[in-house]
Structure 1
Amino acid sequence: MRNGPLAVSTRNPRYFTPTSGPDAGRAVYLTGSHIWNNLHDGMGPGPDGPDEPERLDFPAYLRFLTERGHNFIRLWRWEHVRSQAAGGNYHLNMSPQPWARTGPGTAKDGKLRFDLERLDDGYFQRLRERVTAAAEVGIYVGVMLFDGWALHLSPPPDHIEGHPFHAGNNINGVAASSINDLQVLPLDPRVRSLQEAYVHKVVDTLHDLPNVLWEVSNESCGGGTVTDEVAAFLGMDTAPSWGDSTGWQYWVIDTVKQHEAARGYDAHPIGMTMQFPVPEQTKVNDPLLGSQAEWISPGYDDEIFAGGGHPMAGGAPPSRWYTDPPVADGAKVVLSDTDHYAPGHGDALWAWKSFLRGHHPVLMDYGLIAGLEPGDEPAADTGVPPFAHYEPARWAMGDTLRYAQRMELIDAAPRRDIASTGYALANPGSEYLVLEPDGDGWAFTVDLHAGSYQVEWFDVTTRETTPGDGLRVESARTVEFASPFPPGPAVVYLRRA
C-alpha cells in the first residue's frame, strides 16, 4: 500500500482517510467477506475434527476477495482449541494460539498444555504474514484481538473447557470457569497481565503496517441473559448468568491506544462490535457509541425487541440494518456486518442500501465454510447455504466499491430526502448516486441543482452498465427517471459535466 495508516476523516467522519501518501484526504470505503478460519487452522464439518487441523489456502482467499473487488476483511481471532458452532454441524478447533504448547500434560484437544507465560513466535509470524499479504493486494484488515461469542454462545462444555485459560489446558494454574473470568471486570490480576502482554505483542507485531484496524472482541457479553429456549438451543440446561464486558472492552481500547502512544507508533483505528446478550435490546448499540472506538459494528436495536424481545427467538423479523438501514450520522464510522444483525443472510440489495446510507457493508460469509470454490451443495450437514448463495452480495460489494472510488466520496452524504426512493449518496450540484430498490418499472424522482450532468445506469442484478442521455437542468427542480433495464433494482449515477 502506498498510503499511511487510516484515521477518521475530519471532513466526512463516516469514512476513514489515509494520514499520508498520495490518497491522503480522500475517503476510504471498506467492504468485504470474512469467515472464522482466515487466521487459524481447524474448521470443518463434524463436531470433532481430524488430528491434523484443516488449513485455509490464504493466497486463494485473497484471490477470491480481489476477484470480487473487495478491500476489507475481519481477521478472526478464535480463542478455542476445541469448540463447535451452535446450530451447525461443524467444529472450530483452532490453532495456532498465541501461547507456546510446552506441556507437561495434555489439553482438552489431546495436544500439549499451554505455558501462558510464553508467547509463541510462530503465531505472531503468521499474523504478520497474513496482514502483509493482504496489504500487497490492497486489502485492509480488521485484526480481532479477542472473541467473546465462543466463550458463552457455543455449546458446553467446550465453550470454556476448550479455552487455553481453562485449568486443564495450561500449566500456570490459571482456571477460568466462564466468560466472566476473562471479559468482565474486575479481572484476576494474573489474567489481566497475560491479556495485556498479548495485546502489546500484537500491536508490536503489526504497528508499522498501514492496512491495520484493530477490533476489540466479537460479540462479548453485555450483561443480559437468554431465554430458556435459547439456552436449550445452545445445549445448556438453564440460562446462565453473564456479566457486562463493556468496562473490559473500554480497558482493551485504552491499552491499545496507550501502548501505541508510549512506543511512538502510528495510531490505528480501533473498533467495538455488538455485545450479546444485553438487558435492553433496543439499547444494544449505546455502549459502542459511548466508547473511544473510532469505528463500530452495530447490531439488532429494532423496536420490535422492546419490552424483552429477543433476536434469537424463533420468528424474529429481519433487522432494519438489513432491510432499511438508518442513515449514518458520522458519530462513528459504521462497518455494517451481517454477523451482528442478519447472520446467514446477504444479498445485493443489502450491500447497495448499506453503502447509500453511509455505511461500510461487511458480509459474514457462511458460503465459505465449504471452501473457496463454487459448488452446488454446502459442506455435508453443516446447516449453512452453499457457496453460490452469497455470490450476488459478494459481487455487489465490489460494485459499490468501484462507484465509491469513482466518486468524490469525501464530499458526499447519505440523503433520504433527495430521491423519492430514499436511497442516495449526494453532493448536490456535483454528484448523485441513487438506488431504485424495488425494480417495479415505475419512475422515480431526484431533486437536482442546476447544471449539466452525465448519466450512467447500472443494473444491480445483471451488473450491466449503460450510458444515459446527457441531462441539462436550467434551474433547481425535481427530475423524473425511469430505468432502461428490465424490471429489477437499478442505480443511476449523475455527475456534473
Structure 2
Amino acid sequence: MGDAAGPLVVCTANPRYFAVASDQTKAVYLTGSHVWNNFHDGLGPGGSCADVPERNDFGAYLDFLAAHGHNFIRLWRWEHIRSQAAGGAFHLCMTPQPWTRTGSGLATDGKPKFDLSRFDEAYFTRLRERVSAAGDAGIYVDVMFFDGFALHLSPPPDNVEGHPFHAANNVNGIGIGSIVDYQVLPLDPRVQALQEAYLRKVVDTVHDLPNVLYEVANESSGDTADAVQLPDGSAIPTPVGDSTAWQYWVIDFVRRYEREMGYARHPIGMTMQYPVPDQSKVNDPLFASPADWVSPGFDEAEFTAAPGGGPAPGRWYADPPESSGAKVVISDTDHYAPGQGDALWAWKSFLRGHHLILMDYGIIDVVNPLDPALGVPSYESLEPARYAMGDTRRFAERMNLVAMVPSGALSSTGYALADPGTEYLVLQPEETGAPFTVTLAAGSYTGEWYGVTSRETVDAGEVTGDASFAAPFAGPAVLYLKRAGR
C-alpha cells in the first residue's frame, strides 16, 4: 500500500478533503474500519475483568485493513481500568495507561494505585509503534486524546470509580466525581495541569509522524443535567455538563504547543457529544468549533426504535446531506448507526462529499473469526460495507477528486460528485435499477458501470450530452463518466 504521506492539512482548493501539506494539487480521501480495542488490551465478554487482559493483534488488524483497501483508523483511547459497555455485555479494563502504577495501596481493580505525576513510558512506546506501523502500511491514524463515553455513558459505579482520577485510584489527591470534574470548564487547576502534561507528552511522542491526526474525545457530554437519560428510557444517575468549551480549549492548547515547539501541525477533530439539550442541534458546536474536521451524529429531533432494538439510524446513514466544505466531515457510524453498515451507506456518504468510517463491531473479538456468521453484528454481515469503503477509495484516487464537488442536482437520483465538463460519478441507489438522468456539459465522455454490491465493472461506451441511463445489471450501481481524451 505504501507509506502514508503527510502531514495532512485541509485542502485549500476543496476543503471537503485533506491534502498533503507539500502538495495541494491532490485531495486525500480517508476511509476505514475502527474498533474499541485497537490500542488497549483488556476488552472481553461479560462485565468482569479478566485476570490477564485480553490482547489484540494489531498486526492482523493492519493486514485486515489493507485487504479491504482501507487507509484510516480511529486509535481508541479508553481511560478506565474497569468499566462496561453494551449494557454490561463487554468489560473494558484497559491497559496500558499513561501513568505508572507504582503508588502505595491498591486501586479499585486490586492493582497498585497510579502516580499521576509519572508517565508510564510503555504506553507512549506502544502509541508511537502503532502509529508508525500503520503509517508504513499506508494508513492514517486519528490519535484520540481523551474518552468521554465511559465517564457518563457506562454503568455506575465503575463509570467514575474505574477512572485513574478517582480518589481511590491514585496517590496524588485527585478525586473526580463525574465527567463535570474532568471535561467541563473551569477545572480544578491540578486536573487541568495533569491534562496539559499528558497532551504535551502525546504530541511529543507522535508529532514527527506524517500520518497523524488528532481527536479531542469520543462522545463527551454536551448538556448540564443530574443524570443521563438514554434513548431506551433508562438513566445513568451521574451528573454531566457541557464539554464544548473544554474541547475548544484542548484544540487551542495543542495548536499553541505545536507552534511553540516548531512541530508540524496536524489536523484536529471534534466528534459528536451526548447528551445535548436539543438533539436536532447536536452538530452545531462541531461546525462552530476551531476543529479542522468533525464527525457529526444523529441530529433528528427524537430517537426512534430500530426493529432489532436500539435507536434507528438517522439521516447520516440513510440520506446524508451534501458537504458544504465548511468542515472536513469524517462520517462515522459510531455516532448515528452503531453496529450497522452496508455498501449503499458507503457510496451514499462518498457521493455526498464525506470521508467515511465504520464502527466495526464485527471485529471486536478478532479480525479473522473461525465462524464469520457468529455475533451481532456478525463479521460477514459487515463485509459488503468494508469492501465498498475500499471501492470508494479506489475511485477517489482514480479521479481528480480535488476538483469534484457534491452535485446531486445534476442527477435524478440526487447522488453525484462532479467536475462539470470533465468528470462525473453518479449513484443509482435503487435496487430496481430504474433508469435515471444526468445533466452533462456538452462533449463526449467515456463511461463505466460499477456494481455497488456485485462489484462488477461493465464498459458503458461513449456518452454525448444529457441522457437517460440504466445499469446493465441488477441492484444499485455507480456510473463513472470522464471527458474523452482526458
Q: What's the TM-score, normalizing by structure 1?
A: 0.93
| Post-superposition offset of 1:346 | 0.7
| Larger strand fraction of residues | 2
| Post-superposition offset of 1:233 | 3.9
Residue 339 of structure 1 corresponds to 334
Contact 1:200-1:259 at 8 Å conserved across structures = yes
Residue 472 of structure 2 corresponds to 484
Cα distance in 1 for partners of 2:372, 2:9 equals 42
| Post-superposition offset of 1:451 | 1.4
Determine which of 288, 291, 315 is the counterpart of 1:290.
288
Contact 2:49-2:82 at 8 Å conserved across structures = no
- Assess, with a 3 A threshold, how the Cα gap between structure 1 residues 315 and 179 changes in structure 2: closer, same or farther: closer
More divergent stretch after superposition (207-216 vs 441-450): 441-450
| Post-superposition offset of 1:376 | 3.8
Cα distance in 2 for partners of 1:312, 1:264 equals 50
Q: Does 1:327 align with 2:326?
A: no
Residue 249 of structure 1 corresponds to 247
User: What pairs with 1:153-302 in structure 2 (closer than 5 Å)?
Assistant: 153-225=153-225, 233=234, 236=236, 239-302=237-300
- Assess, with a 3 A threshold, how the Cα gap between structure 1 residues 492 and 224 changes in structure 2: closer, same or farther: farther
| Post-superposition offset of 1:70 | 0.2
| Post-superposition offset of 1:111 | 1.3
| Post-superposition offset of 1:3 | 3.0
| Post-superposition offset of 1:166 | 0.4
| Post-superposition offset of 1:105 | 1.2
Identity %: 63
Determine which of 351, 354, 359 is the counterpart of 1:364.
359
Cα distance in 1 for partners of 2:151, 2:92 equals 12
Contact 1:274-1:297 at 8 Å conserved across structures = yes
Cα distance in 2 for partners of 1:140, 1:271 equals 14
Cα distance in 2 for partners of 1:426, 1:14 equals 14
Q: Deviations over 1:184-231 (max 9, x none)?
A: 111000000000000000001000011000000000000155675658
Cα distance in 2 for partners of 1:158, 1:231 equals 21
Determine which of 11, 14, 21 is the counterpart of 2:13.
11
Q: Does 1:423 align with 2:421?
A: no
| Post-superposition offset of 1:107 | 1.2
Contact 1:370-1:378 at 8 Å conserved across structures = no
- Assess, with a 3 A threshold, how the Cα gap between structure 1 residues 83 and 378 changes in structure 2: closer, same or farther: farther
- Assess, with a 3 A threshold, how the Cα gap between structure 1 residues 185 and 231 changes in structure 2: closer, same or farther: farther
Contact 2:88-2:155 at 8 Å conserved across structures = no
Determine which of 436, 451, 468 is the counterpart of 1:444.
436
Contact 2:178-2:239 at 8 Å conserved across structures = no
- Assess, with a 3 A threshold, how the Cα gap between structure 1 residues 227 and 73 changes in structure 2: closer, same or farther: closer
Moved beyond 6 Å, runs of 4+: 311-315
- Matched to 1:484, the amino acid is P
Cα distance in 2 for partners of 1:496, 1:232 equals 54
Cα distance in 1 for partners of 2:238, 2:170 equals 25
Cα distance in 2 for partners of 1:30, 1:233 equals 36
Q: Deviations over 1:33-58 (max 9, x none)?
A: 00011010011111113211111110
| Post-superposition offset of 1:385 | 1.3
Q: Does 1:144 align with 2:144?
A: yes
Q: What's the TM-score, normalizing by structure 2?
A: 0.95
Residue 106 of structure 1 corresponds to 106
Q: Deviations over 1:71-119 (max 9, x none)?
A: 0000000000101103351111100000011021111112111000001
Cα distance in 2 for partners of 1:263, 1:62 equals 31
| Post-superposition offset of 1:363 | 0.4
- Matched to 2:476, the amino acid is P
Q: Deviations over 1:412-450 (max 9, x none)?
A: 000110011000000011000000001213210000111
Q: State the SS of the aligned residue for 2:409.
A: coil
User: What pairs with 1:28-177 in structure 2 (closer than 5 Å)?
Assistant: 28-87=28-87, 89-177=89-177
| Post-superposition offset of 1:130 | 0.2
Cα distance in 1 for partners of 2:240, 2:185 equals 12
Q: State the SS of the aligned residue for 1:37.
A: coil
Cα distance in 2 for partners of 1:414, 1:72 equals 22
Segments of structure 1 that go 5 or more residues without pairing to the other structure are none
Contact 1:19-1:25 at 8 Å conserved across structures = no
Q: State the SS of the aligned residue for 1:468.
A: strand
Cα distance in 1 for partners of 2:410, 2:373 equals 43
- Assess, with a 3 A threshold, how the Cα gap between structure 1 residues 27 and 254 changes in structure 2: closer, same or farther: same
- Assess, with a 3 A threshold, how the Cα gap between structure 1 residues 370 and 138 changes in structure 2: closer, same or farther: same
Q: State the SS of the aligned residue for 1:488.
A: coil
| Post-superposition offset of 1:465 | 1.0
Cα distance in 2 for partners of 1:240, 1:101 equals 27
- Assess, with a 3 A threshold, how the Cα gap between structure 1 residues 378 and 137 changes in structure 2: closer, same or farther: same
- Matched to 1:86, the amino acid is A
More divergent stretch after superposition (103-112 vs 312-321): 312-321
| Post-superposition offset of 1:241 | 3.2
- Assess, with a 3 A threshold, how the Cα gap between structure 1 residues 230 and 479 changes in structure 2: closer, same or farther: closer
Q: State the SS of the aligned residue for 1:87.
A: helix
Cα distance in 2 for partners of 1:25, 1:7 equals 12
Contact 2:152-2:228 at 8 Å conserved across structures = no
Cα distance in 2 for partners of 1:311, 1:158 equals 29
Q: Deviations over 1:247-283 (max 9, x none)?
A: 1101100110000000001100000000000001111
Contact 1:3-1:19 at 8 Å conserved across structures = no
- Assess, with a 3 A threshold, how the Cα gap between structure 1 residues 205 and 228 changes in structure 2: closer, same or farther: closer
| Post-superposition offset of 1:311 | 6.5
Cα distance in 1 for partners of 2:320, 2:276 equals 21
User: What pairs with 1:467-482 in structure 2 (closer than 5 Å)?
Assistant: 467-473=459-465, 478-482=466-470
Contact 1:99-1:117 at 8 Å conserved across structures = yes
| Post-superposition offset of 1:317 | 3.9
- Please, what is the CA RMSD of the aligned residues? 1.7
Residue 385 of structure 1 corresponds to 377
- Assess, with a 3 A threshold, how the Cα gap between structure 1 residues 312 and 269 changes in structure 2: closer, same or farther: farther
| Post-superposition offset of 1:468 | 1.5
Q: State the SS of the aligned residue for 1:328.
A: coil
Q: State the SS of the aligned residue for 2:388.
A: helix
Cα distance in 2 for partners of 1:39, 1:63 equals 15
Contact 1:26-1:410 at 8 Å conserved across structures = yes
The aligned length equals 478
- Assess, with a 3 A threshold, how the Cα gap between structure 1 residues 339 and 495 changes in structure 2: closer, same or farther: same
